[in-house]
A and B are shown apart, each in its own frame.
Chain A
């Protein structure tokens, strides 16, 4: 198999994973207006726990230290990843979601991101510290007995299955009465509360479901790469997903697919070949970070509703529901 095909397969797999990340964040911010500035931490927690669920018991071949080591077969590790991410979300939600102002949750998420990152790096017995865990078995690899290159196709199919399932669930949620309450909360929490909706409970549910998407996405990531360490979940990773959501269309799951293609795939792959002079080995990385920051600001300034805006259901006398552009008048009042 040519290296180009291999490269394209890798990109396709990450595209699927970024879609899953994006839908989770979209449910949190796009639909509910929850500011989760450390989405990648949920991805990381999901990845780590899925990793140690799939690995043999600790202190294995490479002398790595980690907890658990349950050696469970695939689809169980992603489920564990999703559950652990959900538990973390419940804990954070209890601290940050109770207040009406969104600043508080944003502050809590930024702080949690810092703390979790420091703790995972410093406490080596958890997930082997800054070196991270490696050698996570790839799903079904022992069943098919394929070589490395052909196995990529198997993993792509797994990712597509997860992505399709994720899309169907998130679309169902978005267009259900549950999704309608979330949009009401986003537009005006007080009105939703006045209509008898338990705002805290709905926000918590959106936050938790979004985090499950992060955890499952993280579990797929570690299953594909086979390794994970703290350099995989820096702040910038969170904002690549944010930029993808804002560019694609916040509140629109199809827009999110476009965003996942435009930002993480095109943009990130396109800047892969920036120079790295010896005096400043992180120059390319820095320029990419600057660009993501600018992208966030410009997207918020010129098209906060994204390329594919959310469709608003409009009340009509003839009883038909008509879709139309909503984002424009939602995010940028005249």
Chain B
């Protein structure tokens, strides 16, 4: 039983990292209606920017994280404007767009590797004091990660539910054509979706890097399909689903790692992805399909 609860503790941390990442991915999908396969590299870029700020510029790790997330948000905006928009203007088909994002992913991952080198990096910050909550063990750093996730998920919820911008995003997600003729400023909302998606990806990259302690340029691309699992479990394009999906995938993978070799916890995430795609491809938390 205490083993189970210990797994739950680890699961909550993974779920927090995963929630930030998957809400970012699914929000951008909801508004633009295509998957960004370069999203994993956004996480990597966030992690390396924070490494630069904290180790080279000697800033506090949380301040570095904020700066890195802001820069990743800007980068995400740039990617949309420079790389994606020219294709949308020419009404390129979905297939081509997906090929473009995967080409971008290859470019960015190798770009980070060319600049930073392929060796393992690690933040200098200490993980803080150990906190015991029952059989669950957290470091203060991990508690901060969980707090960040809770605050941002609440923020996303308030944004979507109570602001005009959030309403516009939800309308674009439901029906882009209807949104357009109702006067929703498509271009600005799309820009904003990319910025928020990039910001969350940047944050997620840093907390992921903190959580796995040492990282390489494949940090994000190896985590990407766990993000996919969370996003698809929750129903792709649905932020609330992604939050629940992150919680489910985080808990199940970490609890399973208590009982089987932890090298195979990604296999558990993959198994869940396959089962959901086979039996409930619209996601287990969504009432109706959007495909």
Contacts and interface: CB of A to CB of B under 8 A. Distances in A.
Interface in A21-58: 29, 33, 35, 37
B277 A104 contact: yes
A110 B225 contact: yes
B160 interface: no
Interface residues of A, number: 53
Interface residues of B, number: 49
B37 A106 contact: yes
Interface string A77-115: 000000000000000001110111111101110111011
Given A114-B222, A286-B113, A333-B91, A103 B98 contact: yes
A239 B102 contact: yes
A82 B50 CA distance: 46
Interface stretch (B141-149, B169-177, B195-203, B263-271): B263-271
A288 B95 CA distance: 24
Contacts of A295: 103
A208 interface: no
B281 interface: yes
A34 to B, nearest CB: 9
Given A33-B95, A106-B37, A118-B266, A293 B110 contact: yes
Nearest to B224: A110
B135 to A, nearest CB: 29
A148 to B, nearest CB: 33
B278 interface: yes
Interface stretch (B2-10, B66-74, B82-90, B181-189): B82-90
B104 A293 contact: yes
Contacts of A72: none
Contacts of A293: 103-108, 110
B209 to A, nearest CB: 19
Contacts of B270: 111-112, 114-115
Given A95-B277, A331-B93, A300 B35 contact: no
Chain B interface mostly helix, strand, loop or mixed? helix
B96 A94 contact: no
Interface in A191-241: 235-236, 239
Interface string B91-130: 1111110111011111111110110011000000000000
B229 interface: yes
Contacts of B35: 103, 106-107
Interface stretch (A254-262, A274-282, A313-321): A274-282
B225 A111 contact: yes
B17 interface: no
B225 to A, nearest CB: 4
The 10 closest A-B pairs by CB, nearest first: A293-B107, A296-B103, A289-B110, A293-B106, A286-B114, A111-B225, A286-B113, A286-B110, A297-B103, A290-B110
Interface of A: 29, 33, 35, 37, 94-96, 98-104, 106-108, 110-112, 114-115, 118-119, 122, 235-236, 239, 242, 246, 279-283, 285-290, 292-297, 300-301, 304, 331-333
Interface of B: 34-35, 37, 83, 86-87, 90-96, 98-100, 102-111, 113-114, 117-118, 221-222, 224-225, 228-229, 232, 236, 263-264, 266-267, 270, 273-274, 277-278, 281, 291
28 contacts: A33-B95, A103-B34, A103-B35, A103-B94, A104-B277, A106-B102, A108-B273, A108-B274, A110-B224, A114-B222, A118-B263, A119-B267, A122-B263, A235-B221, A239-B102, A285-B113, A286-B110, A286-B111, A289-B109, A290-B111, A290-B114, A292-B106, A293-B107, A293-B108, A296-B102, A300-B92, A300-B96, A301-B100
